[in-house]
Amino acid sequence: MIPKKLKKGDTIGLISPSDSIVKDDLEVINNSICLMESSGFNIKFGKYALENTLKYGATAKQKAKDINDMFENPEIKAIFCICGGFNSNCTFDYLDYDKIKYNPKIICGFSDSTSLLNVIYNKTGLVTFHGPTFKALTSWQTEYGYKEVMKRLVEGGMSLGQADDEYKTIKDGTAKGILVGGNLSLVNEMVSGKYAIDFTDKILFLEELFLETPPALVSNYLYNMKQNGVFDKIKGIWLGNYDGTISLEQILLDTLEGEYNFPIIKSNNFGHTDKKTVIPIGTMAKINTYEKVKIELLENCTE
């Protein structure tokens, strides 16, 4: 199930499913509002988007109500998470998945939004978008994320990233599968349990923030995924940004120990970096390590 593209005059809804919005965020958020309004869009905050009821954010029910209301409100054509944080998973028990399913629309974010994006896709079949948060549209010193949002969500473009992005082959091969993933620490949390990601026949994309996740912890997460059978199910891996003292691919290869045959590629155009490709979770894609651009979408992700 794919959402409709954005067009000029549409209203974008803003939610805060993770951390609270602090004073220092407001100037950047206002810059993003100016950018999107100058591009022809209207902006509407969720009722609790700026609340800090718990001193670390709004309550789980308040956050979930904003999400449910944004999907139900016909005025809202796309939803952006304002920023990341640590606990968007608190909303899961209070989301109205039927309401989301029968009111499909764009929802976009990254980092902690990984949890929310994957659970919505898993529960409803709605394609969601791993890309800039609303704050990140102007908080990084580049227009890359904004251009990706326009290309994917307004124009309906299918090319991933920009023409000068570089891709590296870690393990040769070709594979087709549906894209799932995002931030490694959040994907690791969704390996099992009530809201587990279905990894069967998927292409798994992963990135991580070194400042919060040192190499040993990355290893911990990847071994946990291995021990829970994730790598027995997937068709391929696409690695993104990780500015660690050792590379993400080195840690992954140590974990896999040559036991798996799927292709693995690496690029620095998504995640906690200035380049934020908009990646549609729930869309069929193909890895081909023998091509310059080693991953491509095989189907539309907006209509």
pLDDT digits (tens, 9 = 90+) for 64-85: 999 999 999 999 999 999 999 9
Q: What percent of the chain has pLDDT over 90?
A: 98
Q: How far apart are CA 154 and CA 131, in angstroms?
A: 14
Whole-angstrom CA distances from 167 to 123, 174, 182, 184, 275 are 32, 14, 18, 19, 13
Checking if the pLDDT of 137 tops 90, the result is: yes
What superfamily would CATH give domain 167-297? Answer: LD-carboxypeptidase A C-terminal domain-like (3.50.30.60)
Q: What's the pLDDT band for 141 if we cut at 50, 70, 90?
A: confident
Q: Quickly list H helices, the chain.
A: 23-38, 60-72, 97-101, 113-124, 136-139, 144-149, 184-189, 215-227, 230-233, 248-256
pLDDT of residue 290: 97
Q: Give buried/exposed letters for 50-80 (b at 16+ CB in 10 A, else e).
A: bbeeeeebbebebbbbbbbbbbebeebbbbb
Nearest CA-CA partner of 246 in 224, 272, 217: 217
Element (H, E) at 171: strand 167-171
pTM: 0.97
Q: What average pLDDT does this structure show over 25-30?
A: 96
Residue spans per domain, the chain: 11-154, 167-297
Residue with tokens 């509407």: 44
Q: What average pLDDT does this structure show over 32-48?
A: 98
> Encoding tokens for residue 197?
């990601």
pLDDT of residue 61: 98
Q: Find the helix packing angle between 215-227 and 248-256, rounded to 10°.
A: 40
3-state SS of 183-215 is: EHHHHHHCCCCCCCCCCCCEEEEEECCCCCCCH
Chain mean pLDDT for the chain: 97
DSSP class of 221: H
CATH 3.40.50.10740 fits 11-154, yes or no: yes
Decide if 47 contacts 65 (C-beta within 8 A). yes
Q: What's the pLDDT band for 140 if we cut at 50, 70, 90?
A: confident
User: What are the φ and ψ backbone dihedral angles of 5, each rounded to 5 degrees?
Assistant: -65, 155
